[in-house]
Structure 1
Amino acid sequence: MLLSMKDLKGYTIGATDGDIGEVTDFYFDDDAWVIRYFIVDTGSWLSQRKVLISPIAIRQLDGDARRLSVALTREQVKNSPDIDTDKPVSRQHEIQYFGYYGYPYYWGRSGMWNAGIYSGGFGLPGGESGQIQARAESERAERVIHEDDDLHLRSCEAIIGYHVKATDGGVGHVDSLLINEKTWAIQYLVINTSNWWLGHKVLIAPEWIDGVHWHDKTVAVDLDSESIKTSPTYESSQVLNREREESLYSHYGRSGYWVTETVIIDVER
Protein backbone atom coordinates (compact mmCIF):
# COMPACT_ATOMS: atom_id res chain seq x y z
CA MET A 1 0.00 0.00 0.00
CA LEU A 2 1.13 3.54 -0.76
CA LEU A 3 0.89 6.16 1.95
CA SER A 4 0.98 9.92 1.55
CA MET A 5 3.77 11.68 3.39
CA LYS A 6 1.19 14.22 4.51
CA ASP A 7 -0.91 11.46 6.07
CA LEU A 8 2.08 9.85 7.81
CA LYS A 9 2.97 13.08 9.56
CA GLY A 10 1.36 13.05 12.96
CA TYR A 11 1.41 9.27 13.33
CA THR A 12 2.14 8.11 16.87
CA ILE A 13 5.25 5.98 17.32
CA GLY A 14 4.56 3.33 19.93
CA ALA A 15 7.31 1.47 21.78
CA THR A 16 6.79 -1.91 23.41
CA ASP A 17 6.07 -0.18 26.72
CA GLY A 18 4.38 3.09 25.79
CA ASP A 19 4.34 5.96 23.32
CA ILE A 20 7.48 7.68 22.07
CA GLY A 21 6.03 10.66 20.22
CA GLU A 22 4.68 11.87 16.89
CA VAL A 23 6.22 11.84 13.41
CA THR A 24 7.05 15.37 12.25
CA ASP A 25 9.26 14.70 9.22
CA PHE A 26 11.44 12.11 7.50
CA TYR A 27 15.00 11.86 6.24
CA PHE A 28 15.12 10.26 2.82
CA ASP A 29 18.04 9.11 0.71
CA ASP A 30 17.92 11.16 -2.50
CA ASP A 31 20.11 8.59 -4.24
CA ALA A 32 18.06 5.47 -3.46
CA TRP A 33 14.80 7.40 -2.85
CA VAL A 34 13.94 5.59 0.34
CA ILE A 35 13.06 6.71 3.86
CA ARG A 36 16.04 6.23 6.18
CA TYR A 37 14.67 7.79 9.36
CA PHE A 38 11.47 9.06 10.92
CA ILE A 39 11.95 12.29 12.83
CA VAL A 40 9.86 11.98 15.99
CA ASP A 41 8.95 14.74 18.43
CA THR A 42 8.88 13.21 21.91
CA GLY A 43 6.86 16.08 23.36
CA SER A 44 6.93 16.67 27.10
CA TRP A 45 8.25 13.16 27.75
CA LEU A 46 11.81 14.09 26.72
CA SER A 47 11.44 17.87 26.88
CA GLN A 48 10.53 18.28 23.19
CA ARG A 49 13.63 16.37 22.12
CA LYS A 50 13.44 15.01 18.58
CA VAL A 51 14.74 11.50 17.97
CA LEU A 52 15.40 9.38 14.90
CA ILE A 53 13.59 6.09 14.39
CA SER A 54 14.79 3.76 11.63
CA PRO A 55 12.27 1.78 9.52
CA ILE A 56 14.28 -1.27 10.61
CA ALA A 57 12.50 -1.06 13.97
CA ILE A 58 8.94 -0.93 12.62
CA ARG A 59 6.81 -3.96 13.42
CA GLN A 60 3.30 -2.86 12.50
CA LEU A 61 1.38 -0.01 10.92
CA ASP A 62 -2.19 0.70 12.02
CA GLY A 63 -3.73 3.20 9.61
CA ASP A 64 -7.02 3.48 11.48
CA ALA A 65 -5.27 4.35 14.73
CA ARG A 66 -2.57 6.39 12.89
CA ARG A 67 0.06 4.45 14.77
CA LEU A 68 3.40 2.78 14.04
CA SER A 69 4.55 0.13 16.51
CA VAL A 70 8.30 -0.33 16.84
CA ALA A 71 10.55 -2.98 18.40
CA LEU A 72 12.04 -0.53 20.88
CA THR A 73 11.55 0.32 24.52
CA ARG A 74 11.15 3.87 25.78
CA GLU A 75 14.35 3.45 27.75
CA GLN A 76 16.29 2.57 24.59
CA VAL A 77 14.98 5.67 22.86
CA LYS A 78 15.68 7.85 25.89
CA ASN A 79 19.32 6.72 25.97
CA SER A 80 19.84 6.80 22.20
CA PRO A 81 22.46 9.13 20.68
CA ASP A 82 21.28 12.74 20.80
CA ILE A 83 21.36 13.85 17.17
CA ASP A 84 20.45 17.42 16.20
CA THR A 85 17.72 16.91 13.58
CA ASP A 86 17.97 20.56 12.52
CA LYS A 87 21.46 19.92 11.13
CA PRO A 88 22.74 17.48 8.47
CA VAL A 89 23.20 13.94 9.78
CA SER A 90 26.81 12.90 9.23
CA ARG A 91 27.99 9.36 8.58
CA GLN A 92 29.65 9.41 11.99
CA HIS A 93 26.26 10.17 13.53
CA GLU A 94 24.79 7.22 11.65
CA ILE A 95 27.57 4.87 12.78
CA GLN A 96 26.94 5.93 16.37
CA TYR A 97 23.18 5.45 15.93
CA PHE A 98 23.39 2.05 14.23
CA GLY A 99 26.01 0.88 16.69
CA TYR A 100 23.85 1.83 19.65
CA TYR A 101 20.87 -0.16 18.37
CA GLY A 102 22.95 -3.02 16.98
CA TYR A 103 21.68 -2.52 13.43
CA PRO A 104 23.74 -3.59 10.39
CA TYR A 105 24.81 -0.62 8.26
CA TYR A 106 22.85 -0.01 5.05
CA TRP A 107 25.54 1.97 3.20
CA GLY A 108 28.03 0.28 0.91
CA ARG A 109 25.24 -1.91 -0.44
CA SER A 110 23.12 -1.82 -3.56
CA GLY A 111 19.39 -1.27 -3.30
CA MET A 112 17.27 0.30 -0.60
CA TRP A 113 17.07 -1.89 2.50
CA ASN A 114 18.71 -5.25 1.98
CA ALA A 115 16.61 -8.28 2.93
CA GLY A 116 18.91 -9.19 5.80
CA ILE A 117 17.96 -6.18 7.90
CA TYR A 118 14.44 -5.37 6.75
CA SER A 119 11.49 -5.55 6.85
CA GLY A 120 9.18 -6.00 9.75
CA GLY A 121 11.40 -5.05 12.66
CA PHE A 122 14.85 -6.29 13.54
CA GLY A 123 13.75 -7.87 16.77
CA LEU A 124 14.42 -5.83 19.84
CA PRO A 125 17.40 -3.77 18.65
CA GLY A 126 20.40 -3.72 20.88
CA GLY A 127 20.05 -7.44 21.54
CA GLU A 128 22.99 -9.81 21.31
CA SER A 129 22.17 -11.20 17.86
CA GLY A 130 21.79 -7.75 16.35
CA GLN A 131 25.02 -6.52 17.89
CA ILE A 132 26.95 -9.55 16.67
CA GLN A 133 25.66 -9.00 13.15
CA ALA A 134 26.50 -5.31 13.34
CA ARG A 135 30.04 -5.98 14.55
CA ALA A 136 30.55 -8.57 11.82
CA GLU A 137 29.80 -5.91 9.24
CA SER A 138 31.71 -3.12 10.94
CA GLU A 139 35.00 -3.72 9.15
CA ARG A 140 33.34 -3.79 5.73
CA ALA A 141 31.35 -0.65 6.49
CA GLU A 142 34.43 1.23 7.67
CA ARG A 143 36.11 0.50 4.33
CA VAL A 144 33.33 2.21 2.41
CA ILE A 145 32.59 4.97 4.90
CA HIS A 146 34.51 7.62 2.98
CA GLU A 147 33.56 6.46 -0.50
CA ASP A 148 30.58 8.81 -0.39
CA ASP A 149 31.15 11.57 2.13
CA ASP A 150 28.53 13.69 0.34
CA LEU A 151 25.55 12.32 2.24
CA HIS A 152 22.26 11.96 0.45
CA LEU A 153 19.99 12.38 3.47
CA ARG A 154 17.39 15.07 2.93
CA SER A 155 14.26 16.26 4.68
CA CYS A 156 11.02 15.19 3.00
CA GLU A 157 9.38 18.37 4.23
CA ALA A 158 12.10 20.45 2.56
CA ILE A 159 11.37 19.16 -0.94
CA ILE A 160 7.66 20.05 -0.78
CA GLY A 161 7.04 23.11 -2.96
CA TYR A 162 10.11 22.57 -5.16
CA HIS A 163 9.51 23.56 -8.78
CA VAL A 164 9.47 20.71 -11.29
CA LYS A 165 11.19 21.31 -14.62
CA ALA A 166 10.50 19.16 -17.66
CA THR A 167 12.94 18.96 -20.55
CA ASP A 168 11.22 21.98 -22.10
CA GLY A 169 10.14 24.10 -19.16
CA GLY A 170 8.37 24.27 -15.83
CA VAL A 171 5.36 22.06 -15.19
CA GLY A 172 4.41 22.39 -11.52
CA HIS A 173 5.63 21.89 -7.98
CA VAL A 174 6.07 18.98 -5.59
CA ASP A 175 2.90 18.63 -3.53
CA SER A 176 3.57 15.40 -1.63
CA LEU A 177 5.34 12.04 -1.69
CA LEU A 178 3.80 8.57 -1.86
CA ILE A 179 5.63 6.02 0.26
CA ASN A 180 5.56 2.23 -0.02
CA GLU A 181 4.78 0.91 3.46
CA LYS A 182 6.52 -2.43 2.83
CA THR A 183 9.89 -1.08 1.69
CA TRP A 184 9.60 2.58 2.76
CA ALA A 185 10.65 3.54 -0.75
CA ILE A 186 9.38 6.82 -2.16
CA GLN A 187 7.36 5.36 -5.02
CA TYR A 188 6.06 8.63 -6.50
CA LEU A 189 6.25 12.38 -6.21
CA VAL A 190 2.83 14.05 -6.40
CA ILE A 191 3.10 17.04 -8.73
CA ASN A 192 0.58 19.89 -8.67
CA THR A 193 0.34 21.45 -12.15
CA SER A 194 -2.40 23.99 -11.34
CA ASN A 195 -0.05 26.98 -11.31
CA TRP A 196 0.90 26.25 -14.91
CA TRP A 197 -2.25 25.02 -16.66
CA LEU A 198 -5.05 25.38 -14.10
CA GLY A 199 -4.55 21.67 -14.22
CA HIS A 200 -4.46 18.67 -11.97
CA LYS A 201 -2.15 16.51 -9.89
CA VAL A 202 0.03 13.91 -11.58
CA LEU A 203 2.58 11.34 -10.44
CA ILE A 204 6.28 11.25 -11.25
CA ALA A 205 8.39 8.20 -10.39
CA PRO A 206 11.90 8.80 -8.96
CA GLU A 207 13.49 6.89 -11.84
CA TRP A 208 12.29 9.64 -14.19
CA ILE A 209 14.14 12.32 -12.23
CA ASP A 210 17.39 13.65 -13.66
CA GLY A 211 18.35 15.42 -10.48
CA VAL A 212 17.27 17.47 -7.48
CA HIS A 213 18.94 20.88 -7.41
CA TRP A 214 18.84 21.86 -3.78
CA HIS A 215 20.47 25.24 -4.31
CA ASP A 216 17.62 26.58 -6.46
CA LYS A 217 14.86 24.29 -5.18
CA THR A 218 14.07 22.53 -8.44
CA VAL A 219 13.49 18.95 -9.54
CA ALA A 220 14.52 18.16 -13.13
CA VAL A 221 12.68 15.31 -14.85
CA ASP A 222 13.40 13.38 -18.03
CA LEU A 223 9.92 14.06 -19.45
CA ASP A 224 8.51 16.76 -21.71
CA SER A 225 5.80 19.13 -20.52
CA GLU A 226 3.14 17.86 -22.94
CA SER A 227 3.44 14.28 -21.71
CA ILE A 228 3.13 15.47 -18.12
CA LYS A 229 0.17 17.67 -19.00
CA THR A 230 -1.69 14.73 -20.55
CA SER A 231 -0.63 12.25 -17.87
CA PRO A 232 -3.37 10.35 -15.98
CA THR A 233 -4.78 12.48 -13.19
CA TYR A 234 -3.92 11.50 -9.65
CA GLU A 235 -6.84 11.54 -7.22
CA SER A 236 -5.90 10.94 -3.60
CA SER A 237 -9.42 9.65 -2.94
CA GLN A 238 -8.88 6.74 -5.34
CA VAL A 239 -6.84 3.64 -4.56
CA LEU A 240 -3.68 3.62 -6.68
CA ASN A 241 -3.95 0.00 -7.79
CA ARG A 242 -1.71 -1.83 -10.26
CA GLU A 243 -4.07 -1.06 -13.15
CA ARG A 244 -3.67 2.68 -12.60
CA GLU A 245 0.08 2.30 -12.21
CA GLU A 246 0.27 0.35 -15.47
CA SER A 247 -1.70 3.11 -17.19
CA LEU A 248 0.75 5.71 -15.85
CA TYR A 249 3.88 3.85 -16.95
CA SER A 250 2.31 3.00 -20.32
CA HIS A 251 1.55 6.69 -20.88
CA TYR A 252 5.24 7.51 -20.55
CA GLY A 253 6.38 4.41 -22.45
CA ARG A 254 8.28 3.10 -19.43
CA SER A 255 8.57 -0.33 -17.84
CA GLY A 256 7.01 -0.60 -14.39
CA TYR A 257 9.15 -1.03 -11.29
CA TRP A 258 7.26 -4.27 -10.58
CA VAL A 259 8.65 -5.73 -13.83
CA THR A 260 12.20 -4.96 -12.69
CA GLU A 261 11.50 -6.49 -9.28
CA THR A 262 10.24 -9.68 -10.95
CA VAL A 263 13.38 -9.94 -13.08
CA ILE A 264 15.61 -9.52 -10.01
CA ILE A 265 13.72 -12.22 -8.12
CA ASP A 266 13.99 -14.63 -11.07
CA VAL A 267 17.72 -14.03 -11.39
CA GLU A 268 18.27 -14.59 -7.66
CA ARG A 269 16.43 -17.91 -7.87
Structure 2
Amino acid sequence: MYRSTNELKGYKVLATDGDCGTVQDLLFDDDTNIMRYLVVDTGSWLTDRQVLVSPVAIDQPDLDSFELPTVLSKANIEAAPSVETDQPVSRQYESALTSFYNWPVYWGSSPTPILNRPAATVELKERVAAGNGDPHLRSANEVTGYEIQCMEDTLGHVEDIIVDTESWSLRYLVIDTRNWLPGKKVIIAFDWVTHFTWDDRKAHVDLTRSQVENAPEYDPRLPVNRAYETQLYDFYGRPTYW
Protein backbone atom coordinates (compact mmCIF):
# COMPACT_ATOMS: atom_id res chain seq x y z
CA MET A 1 0.00 0.00 0.00
CA TYR A 2 1.47 3.33 -1.05
CA ARG A 3 0.93 6.35 1.19
CA SER A 4 2.13 9.91 1.14
CA THR A 5 4.28 11.00 4.07
CA ASN A 6 2.47 14.34 4.02
CA GLU A 7 -0.75 12.39 4.51
CA LEU A 8 0.66 10.21 7.28
CA LYS A 9 1.74 13.25 9.28
CA GLY A 10 -1.17 14.00 11.58
CA TYR A 11 -2.42 10.40 11.73
CA LYS A 12 -3.47 9.36 15.24
CA VAL A 13 -1.23 6.65 16.72
CA LEU A 14 -3.09 4.00 18.71
CA ALA A 15 -1.58 1.98 21.52
CA THR A 16 -3.25 -1.28 22.51
CA ASP A 17 -4.78 0.54 25.48
CA GLY A 18 -5.73 3.89 23.95
CA ASP A 19 -4.58 6.91 21.93
CA CYS A 20 -0.93 7.79 22.37
CA GLY A 21 -0.34 10.79 20.11
CA THR A 22 -0.01 11.88 16.50
CA VAL A 23 2.63 11.47 13.80
CA GLN A 24 4.72 14.64 13.48
CA ASP A 25 7.52 13.46 11.20
CA LEU A 26 9.07 10.37 9.65
CA LEU A 27 12.79 9.62 9.76
CA PHE A 28 14.39 7.54 7.03
CA ASP A 29 17.79 6.08 6.21
CA ASP A 30 19.07 7.67 3.00
CA ASP A 31 21.51 4.78 2.50
CA THR A 32 18.95 1.95 2.53
CA ASN A 33 15.86 4.06 1.62
CA ILE A 34 13.94 2.50 4.50
CA MET A 35 11.75 4.37 6.98
CA ARG A 36 13.42 4.02 10.36
CA TYR A 37 11.11 5.86 12.76
CA LEU A 38 7.83 7.65 13.12
CA VAL A 39 8.19 10.72 15.33
CA VAL A 40 5.14 10.67 17.60
CA ASP A 41 4.03 13.71 19.56
CA THR A 42 2.61 12.14 22.71
CA GLY A 43 0.45 15.19 23.50
CA SER A 44 -1.03 15.85 26.91
CA TRP A 45 -0.34 12.50 28.59
CA LEU A 46 3.45 12.87 28.14
CA THR A 47 3.88 16.63 28.11
CA ASP A 48 6.24 18.10 25.50
CA ARG A 49 7.70 14.74 24.53
CA GLN A 50 8.26 13.35 21.07
CA VAL A 51 9.20 9.68 20.90
CA LEU A 52 10.52 7.41 18.16
CA VAL A 53 8.38 4.44 17.15
CA SER A 54 9.70 1.83 14.73
CA PRO A 55 7.44 0.97 11.76
CA VAL A 56 7.95 -2.66 12.80
CA ALA A 57 5.44 -1.98 15.59
CA ILE A 58 2.89 -0.36 13.23
CA ASP A 59 -0.03 -2.14 11.58
CA GLN A 60 -1.49 -0.94 8.28
CA PRO A 61 -2.90 2.61 8.31
CA ASP A 62 -6.66 2.97 8.62
CA LEU A 63 -7.45 5.31 5.75
CA ASP A 64 -11.00 6.03 6.86
CA SER A 65 -10.21 7.08 10.42
CA PHE A 66 -6.66 8.38 9.79
CA GLU A 67 -5.23 6.11 12.45
CA LEU A 68 -2.10 4.01 12.81
CA PRO A 69 -2.69 1.00 15.07
CA THR A 70 0.36 -0.36 16.90
CA VAL A 71 1.21 -3.49 18.87
CA LEU A 72 2.56 -1.30 21.69
CA SER A 73 1.00 -0.37 25.00
CA LYS A 74 1.11 3.15 26.41
CA ALA A 75 3.82 1.92 28.79
CA ASN A 76 5.87 0.80 25.78
CA ILE A 77 5.40 4.21 24.15
CA GLU A 78 6.39 6.01 27.35
CA ALA A 79 9.60 3.96 27.48
CA ALA A 80 10.43 4.62 23.82
CA PRO A 81 13.52 6.71 23.03
CA SER A 82 13.12 10.46 22.67
CA VAL A 83 13.63 12.09 19.30
CA GLU A 84 16.77 13.66 20.76
CA THR A 85 18.25 10.17 21.13
CA ASP A 86 18.67 9.67 17.39
CA GLN A 87 18.57 12.99 15.59
CA PRO A 88 18.25 13.47 11.84
CA VAL A 89 21.42 14.74 10.19
CA SER A 90 20.00 18.25 9.80
CA ARG A 91 19.57 18.56 13.58
CA GLN A 92 23.05 17.13 14.14
CA TYR A 93 24.50 19.86 11.92
CA GLU A 94 22.41 22.54 13.62
CA SER A 95 23.71 21.40 17.01
CA ALA A 96 27.30 21.46 15.75
CA LEU A 97 26.69 24.81 14.07
CA THR A 98 25.37 26.55 17.17
CA SER A 99 28.31 25.19 19.15
CA PHE A 100 30.83 26.18 16.47
CA TYR A 101 29.65 29.80 16.33
CA ASN A 102 28.51 29.95 19.95
CA TRP A 103 24.99 30.84 18.86
CA PRO A 104 21.93 30.28 21.06
CA VAL A 105 20.02 27.10 20.23
CA TYR A 106 16.78 27.68 18.38
CA TRP A 107 15.11 24.91 16.41
CA GLY A 108 13.40 26.79 13.59
CA SER A 109 11.18 25.43 10.87
CA SER A 110 14.10 25.16 8.45
CA PRO A 111 17.84 24.49 8.94
CA THR A 112 20.28 27.35 9.47
CA PRO A 113 22.56 27.46 6.41
CA ILE A 114 26.25 26.76 6.90
CA LEU A 115 28.32 29.83 6.15
CA ASN A 116 30.44 29.67 3.02
CA ARG A 117 33.70 28.87 4.77
CA PRO A 118 35.39 25.58 3.75
CA ALA A 119 37.29 25.29 7.02
CA ALA A 120 34.09 25.76 9.01
CA THR A 121 32.27 23.15 6.93
CA VAL A 122 35.07 20.61 7.43
CA GLU A 123 35.06 21.14 11.19
CA LEU A 124 31.29 20.87 11.37
CA LYS A 125 31.37 17.59 9.48
CA GLU A 126 34.07 16.33 11.83
CA ARG A 127 31.96 17.28 14.84
CA VAL A 128 28.95 15.43 13.47
CA ALA A 129 31.05 12.38 12.59
CA ALA A 130 32.51 12.34 16.10
CA GLY A 131 29.05 12.23 17.66
CA ASN A 132 26.67 9.32 18.07
CA GLY A 133 24.16 10.48 15.49
CA ASP A 134 23.46 8.53 12.34
CA PRO A 135 24.80 10.48 9.30
CA HIS A 136 22.22 8.75 7.07
CA LEU A 137 19.15 9.61 9.13
CA ARG A 138 16.91 12.13 7.36
CA SER A 139 13.68 13.85 8.26
CA ALA A 140 10.76 13.83 5.81
CA ASN A 141 9.91 17.32 7.09
CA GLU A 142 13.46 18.45 6.33
CA VAL A 143 13.66 16.97 2.84
CA THR A 144 10.28 18.39 1.78
CA GLY A 145 11.21 21.60 -0.01
CA TYR A 146 14.67 20.46 -1.08
CA GLU A 147 15.65 21.61 -4.57
CA ILE A 148 16.13 18.93 -7.24
CA GLN A 149 19.68 18.92 -8.59
CA CYS A 150 19.60 17.25 -12.01
CA MET A 151 22.74 16.27 -13.91
CA GLU A 152 23.17 19.72 -15.44
CA ASP A 153 20.85 22.09 -13.60
CA THR A 154 18.36 22.49 -10.76
CA LEU A 155 14.64 22.01 -11.20
CA GLY A 156 11.72 22.48 -8.83
CA HIS A 157 11.56 21.01 -5.36
CA VAL A 158 10.49 17.96 -3.35
CA GLU A 159 6.82 18.24 -2.46
CA ASP A 160 6.18 14.83 -0.93
CA ILE A 161 7.53 11.31 -0.43
CA ILE A 162 5.58 8.16 -1.25
CA VAL A 163 6.25 5.19 1.00
CA ASP A 164 5.22 1.54 0.78
CA THR A 165 3.59 0.83 4.16
CA GLU A 166 3.97 -2.94 3.68
CA SER A 167 7.77 -2.82 3.73
CA TRP A 168 8.20 0.85 4.77
CA SER A 169 10.47 1.33 1.77
CA LEU A 170 10.61 4.78 0.22
CA ARG A 171 9.37 4.39 -3.34
CA TYR A 172 8.96 7.82 -4.94
CA LEU A 173 9.67 11.52 -4.62
CA VAL A 174 6.89 13.85 -5.70
CA ILE A 175 8.46 16.83 -7.47
CA ASP A 176 6.86 20.17 -8.22
CA THR A 177 8.76 21.29 -11.32
CA ARG A 178 8.56 24.97 -10.35
CA ASN A 179 10.31 26.43 -7.36
CA TRP A 180 7.72 28.85 -6.01
CA LEU A 181 4.37 28.83 -7.81
CA PRO A 182 2.51 25.54 -8.31
CA GLY A 183 3.59 23.76 -11.48
CA LYS A 184 3.44 20.36 -13.07
CA LYS A 185 3.95 17.52 -10.61
CA VAL A 186 5.95 14.43 -11.52
CA ILE A 187 7.34 11.53 -9.55
CA ILE A 188 10.68 9.77 -9.73
CA ALA A 189 11.82 6.59 -8.06
CA PHE A 190 13.52 7.21 -4.75
CA ASP A 191 16.31 4.86 -5.86
CA TRP A 192 17.28 7.42 -8.52
CA VAL A 193 18.34 9.90 -5.84
CA THR A 194 22.12 9.61 -5.60
CA HIS A 195 22.44 11.63 -2.40
CA PHE A 196 21.12 14.55 -0.36
CA THR A 197 23.14 17.59 0.70
CA TRP A 198 22.00 19.29 3.88
CA ASP A 199 24.02 22.50 3.58
CA ASP A 200 22.40 23.64 0.30
CA ARG A 201 19.13 21.67 0.72
CA LYS A 202 19.29 19.63 -2.47
CA ALA A 203 18.29 16.17 -3.63
CA HIS A 204 20.72 15.03 -6.33
CA VAL A 205 19.40 12.76 -9.09
CA ASP A 206 21.12 11.07 -12.04
CA LEU A 207 18.53 12.39 -14.49
CA THR A 208 18.59 15.27 -16.93
CA ARG A 209 16.42 18.32 -16.46
CA SER A 210 14.60 17.49 -19.69
CA GLN A 211 13.75 13.99 -18.46
CA VAL A 212 12.16 15.31 -15.28
CA GLU A 213 10.34 18.17 -17.03
CA ASN A 214 8.83 15.86 -19.65
CA ALA A 215 7.94 12.98 -17.35
CA PRO A 216 4.32 11.77 -17.13
CA GLU A 217 2.30 14.18 -14.99
CA TYR A 218 1.41 12.95 -11.51
CA ASP A 219 -2.10 13.46 -10.13
CA PRO A 220 -2.09 12.96 -6.34
CA ARG A 221 -5.82 12.21 -6.45
CA LEU A 222 -5.12 8.99 -8.37
CA PRO A 223 -3.42 5.90 -6.90
CA VAL A 224 0.09 4.93 -7.90
CA ASN A 225 -0.61 1.50 -9.34
CA ARG A 226 1.40 -0.97 -11.41
CA ALA A 227 0.10 0.43 -14.71
CA TYR A 228 1.31 3.93 -13.78
CA GLU A 229 4.63 2.56 -12.50
CA THR A 230 5.18 0.67 -15.76
CA GLN A 231 4.54 3.85 -17.76
CA LEU A 232 6.96 5.75 -15.52
CA TYR A 233 9.82 3.25 -15.77
CA ASP A 234 9.28 2.90 -19.51
CA PHE A 235 9.54 6.68 -19.92
CA TYR A 236 12.83 6.86 -18.03
CA GLY A 237 14.14 3.64 -19.61
CA ARG A 238 15.02 2.24 -16.19
CA PRO A 239 14.73 -1.36 -14.97
CA THR A 240 11.77 -1.94 -12.67
CA TYR A 241 12.12 -2.97 -9.04
CA TRP A 242 9.45 -5.68 -9.26
Counterpart of 2:136 in structure 1 is: 152
More helix by share: 1
- Helix, strand or coil for the counterpart of 1:157? helix
Give the AA of the match of 2:15. Answer: A
Q: C-alpha distance in 1, partners of 2:133/2:8?
A: 30
Distance 1:198 1:12, change over 3 A: closer
Distance 1:172 1:70, change over 3 A: same
Displacement of 1:195: 3.4
What are the equivalent positions in structure 2 for 1:163-182 lying under 5 Å apart? 163-182=147-166
The reply to whether residue 221 of structure 1 matches residue 205 of structure 2 is yes
Counterpart of 2:22 in structure 1 is: 22
Contact 2:27–2:137 (CA under 8 A) maintained in structure 1: yes
Q: C-alpha distance in 1, partners of 2:82/2:163?
A: 27
User: Unaligned regions of 5+ residues in structure 2, if any?
Assistant: 90-131
Distance 1:9 1:256, change over 3 A: same
Displacement of 1:150: 5.1
Counterpart of 1:34 in structure 2 is: 34
Contact 1:50–1:85 (CA under 8 A) maintained in structure 2: no
Contact 1:15–1:72 (CA under 8 A) maintained in structure 2: yes
Give the AA of the match of 1:175. Answer: E
Give the AA of the match of 2:22. Answer: E
Displacement of 1:149: 7.5
- Helix, strand or coil for the counterpart of 2:233? helix
Q: C-alpha distance in 2, partners of 1:32/1:25?
A: 18
Structure 1 length-normalised TM: 0.70
Aligned length: 201
| Cα RMSD after superposing both structures | 2.2
Q: C-alpha distance in 1, partners of 2:194/2:65?
A: 37
Structure 2 length-normalised TM: 0.77
Counterpart of 2:167 in structure 1 is: 183
Sequence identity, in percent?
43
Distance 1:83 1:217, change over 3 A: closer
Counterpart of 1:251 in structure 2 is: 235
Q: C-alpha distance in 2, partners of 1:79/1:220?
A: 37
Counterpart of 1:13 in structure 2 is: 13
Q: C-alpha distance in 1, partners of 2:179/2:80?
A: 44
